[in-house]
Amino acid sequence: VSILLDGVDEYIKEEDLKECSQKASQIQKKLLEDKDESRVLGWRTLEESAVGLDVMRKKAEEIRKMADVFVIVGVGGSNQAARAMIEALKEERKGPEILYLGNTLSPYTISHTLEKLEGKSVYIDVIAKNFETLEPGSHFRILRQWMRKRYTKQEMANRIIVTGTVGSRLEEIAKEQGYLFLQFPVSVGGRYSAFTPVGLFPIMVAGLDEREFLNGVLTAMEDCKKNDENIAIQYAAVRNLLYQKHYDIEMLVSFEPQYAYLEKWWVQLFGESEGKDKKGSFPACAIYSEDLHSMGQYIQQGVRMLMETVISVGKPHYQVQIPSDAANLDKLNFLAGKRVDEVNKMAELGTQIAHVDGGVPNMKVCMPALTAQYIGQLFYFFELACGISGSMLGVNPFDQPGVEAYKNNMF
377: left (phi over 0), alpha (psi -120 to 50) or beta: alpha
Known catalytic residues?
A: 272, 293, 407
Q: What are the φ and ψ backbone dihedral angles of 288, each rounded to 5 degrees?
A: -95, 155
CA angle centred on 402, ends 240 and 36, rounded to 5°: 65
Q: What are the φ and ψ backbone dihedral angles of 345, each rounded to 5 degrees?
A: -65, -35
Q: What is the pTM of this model?
A: 0.96
Of 303, 256, 250, 305, residue with least CA distance to 274: 250
What is the pLDDT tens value at each position of the chain, 411 positions in all?
999 999 999 999 999 999 999 999 999 999 999 999 999 999 999 999 999 999 999 999 999 999 999 999 999 999 999 999 999 999 899 999 999 999 999 999 999 999 999 999 999 999 999 888 899 999 999 999 999 999 999 999 999 999 999 999 999 999 999 999 999 999 999 999 999 999 999 999 999 999 999 999 999 999 999 998 999 999 999 999 999 999 999 999 999 999 999 999 999 999 999 999 999 999 999 999 999 999 999 999 999 999 999 999 998 888 899 999 999 999 999 999 999 999 999 999 999 999 999 999 999 999 999 999 999 999 999 999 999 999 999 999 999 988 878 888 888
> Are 43 and 214 within 8 A, CB to CB?
no
State which amino acid sits at residue 296.
Answer: G
